[in-house]
């Protein structure tokens, strides 16, 4: 059962009680990410993702890790353009221990200078690792070209310069401005009751009910047609994409169905045409991203430099077929069946359940049931997908990003 409560502090608590499990997963969802950084703050959200595990006023990094791992638990975090998420998974009997650690980490970081410097070096290594991985780098290159000179186009990691120059006080100020209870969702799924979680979280939550700085929504410039980073690699890594739908657009479920048919699996059009029939690539897929005021649909493939033009021609042909003919009834039915089936199977752990309810509460302000989501997907019909094709694909300016030796 899913239950939701808003505390006086502004914190929202959402739980899904799963008494048949022996684990519980907690997530602290912060409603700020890379797009909320300004000027010299570029990379601050991701810096905090790392830094908050380095120590609190009463715990060292080792004590934080040992408290969770000594009972078989695990903890981690991730940063996106619009959220930063910290999570802990433990056996259910250690619920209080996990809440105590997670709330301490989120609200009481020490920001010790030596720990800031240590983690700065780690992040610079992470940036270097990304730069050495062309199939990762190409997606950042694509984002920059899709949203030129815009916060949504910035790399979540920050840049080498911004991370090097960001001082301890600037990071602490960003934390103070954004890590307020009213900007957080605390999500818990597993063998715990809503009342248990409320009692444990309430006594560990700051009382202040301030609001984070308002999210800037600058105008979005036209996407760039080309972004090429030439490098001596065995493959050319390519992303082709168009602007699409925001996270709460009414047509988002129809776009998900379209994406599944286009490049969502081994039976998809792109996989069959590019890999199975032509042997052009080992990896090819499409994916979508929805932000609170924008979004995109993109296709990735990696191919031999001498076959890039052929791969791009196939992608262009397949997109043209969608615009001209849409989906067949059989494709529509199979895509919906795949999405509902995979959704059901993906929610078999407390961690996946926590992610679903946490994101839903943060993005939608409510948590639809699994049956409701299945119903929305099943309710997508041919005219709905046709409308999305018209909105997203017909005459849409495309961005092509590439990393490799070819010159597009």
CB atoms inside a 10 Å sphere around CB 403: 28
Res. 408: pLDDT tops 80: no
CB 43 within 8 A of CB 123: yes
**What was the pLDDT predicted at 134?**
97
* Chain segment 337-383, per-residue pLDDT in tens: 999 999 999 999 999 999 999 999 999 999 999 999 999 999 999 99
Average pLDDT over residues 91-110: 97
Cα torsion 358, 360, 366, 367: sign: negative
* Residue carrying structure tokens 């690792």: 129
* Chain segment 196-249, per-residue pLDDT in tens: 999 999 999 998 767 888 898 999 999 999 999 999 999 999 999 999 999 999
Res. 75: pLDDT tops 80: yes
**What was the pLDDT predicted at 59?**
96
Average pLDDT over residues 61-87: 98
CB 54 within 8 A of CB 118: yes
- 372: buried, middle or exposed (CB in 10 Å: 19+, 13-18, 0-12)? exposed
SS3 149: coil
**What was the pLDDT predicted at 39?**
83
* Chain segment 168-199, per-residue pLDDT in tens: 999 999 999 999 999 999 999 999 999 999 99
User: Looking at domain 2-202, what is its CATH homologous superfamily?
Assistant: Metalloenzyme, LuxS/M16 peptidase-like (3.30.830.10)
- 252: buried, middle or exposed (CB in 10 Å: 19+, 13-18, 0-12)? middle
Catalytic residue list: 49
**What was the pLDDT predicted at 212?**
84
* Chain segment 305-331, per-residue pLDDT in tens: 999 999 999 999 999 999 999 999 999
**Could you tell me whether strands 295-303 and 236-243 are parallel, antiparallel, or unpaired per DSSP bridges?**
antiparallel
Domain ranges of the chain: 2-202, 226-404
Average pLDDT over residues 150-160: 96
Please tell me if the domain spanning 2-202 has the same topology as the one spanning 226-404.
yes
**What was the pLDDT predicted at 40?**
87
**What was the pLDDT predicted at 245?**
98
What number does CATH give the domain 226-404? 3.30.830.10
Question: If you average pLDDT over every residue of the chain, what do you get?
Answer: 96
Query: With the CA atoms of 345, 351, 356 and 357 taken in that order, what torsion angle do they form, in degrees rounded to the nearest 10?
Result: 130
Average pLDDT over residues 111-132: 96
């Amino acid at each position: 059962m899913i239950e939701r409560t808003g505390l006086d502090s502004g914190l929202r608590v959402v739980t899904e009680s799963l008494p048949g499990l022996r684990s519980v997963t907690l997530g602290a969802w912060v409603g700020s990410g890379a797009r909320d950084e300004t000027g010299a703050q570029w990379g601050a959200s991701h810096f905090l993702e790392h830094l908050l595990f380095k120590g609190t006023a009463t715990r060292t990094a080792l004590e934080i890790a040992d408290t969770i791992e000594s009972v078989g638990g695990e903890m981690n975090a991730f940063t996106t353009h619009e959220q930063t998420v910290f999570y802990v998974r433990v056996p259910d009997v250690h619920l209080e221990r996990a809440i105590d650690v997670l709330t301490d980490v989120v609200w009481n970081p020490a920001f010790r200078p030596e720990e800031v410097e240590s983690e700065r070096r780690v992040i610079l290594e992470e940036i270097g690792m990304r730069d050495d991985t062309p199939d990762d780098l190409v997606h950042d290159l694509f984002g920059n070209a899709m949203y030129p000179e815009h916060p949504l186009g910035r790399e979540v990691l920050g840049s080498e310069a911004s991370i090097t120059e960001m001082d301890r006080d600037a990071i602490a100020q960003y934390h103070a401005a954004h890590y307020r209870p009213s900007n957080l969702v605390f999500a818990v799924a597993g063998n715990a009751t809503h009342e248990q979680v409320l009692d444990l979280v309430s006594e560990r939550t700051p009382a202040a009910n301030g609001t984070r700085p308002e999210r800037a929504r600058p105008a979005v410039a036209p996407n760039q047609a080309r972004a090429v980073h030439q490098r001596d690699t065995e493959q050319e890594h390519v992303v082709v994409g168009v602007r699409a739908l925001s996270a709460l657009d009414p047509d988002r479920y129809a776009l998900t169905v379209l994406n599944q048919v286009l490049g969502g699996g081994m039976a998809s059009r792109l996989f069959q045409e590019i890999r199975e029939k032509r042997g052009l690539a080992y990896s090819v897929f499409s994916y979508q991203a929805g932000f609170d005021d924008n979004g995109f649909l993109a296709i990735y493939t990696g191919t031999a430099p001498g076959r890039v033009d052929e791969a791009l021609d196939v992608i262009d042909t397949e997109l043209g077929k969608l615009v001209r003919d849409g989906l067949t009834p059989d494709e529509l039915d199979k895509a919906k069946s795949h999405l509902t089936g995979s959704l059901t199977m993906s929610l078999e752990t407390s961690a996946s359940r926590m992610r679903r309810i946490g994101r839903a509460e943060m993005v939608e302000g409510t948590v639809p049931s699994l049956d409701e989501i299945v119903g929305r997907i099943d309710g997508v019909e041919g005219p709905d997908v046709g409308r999305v094709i018209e909105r997203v694909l017909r005459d849409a300016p495309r961005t092509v990003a590439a990393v490799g030796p070819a010159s597009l």
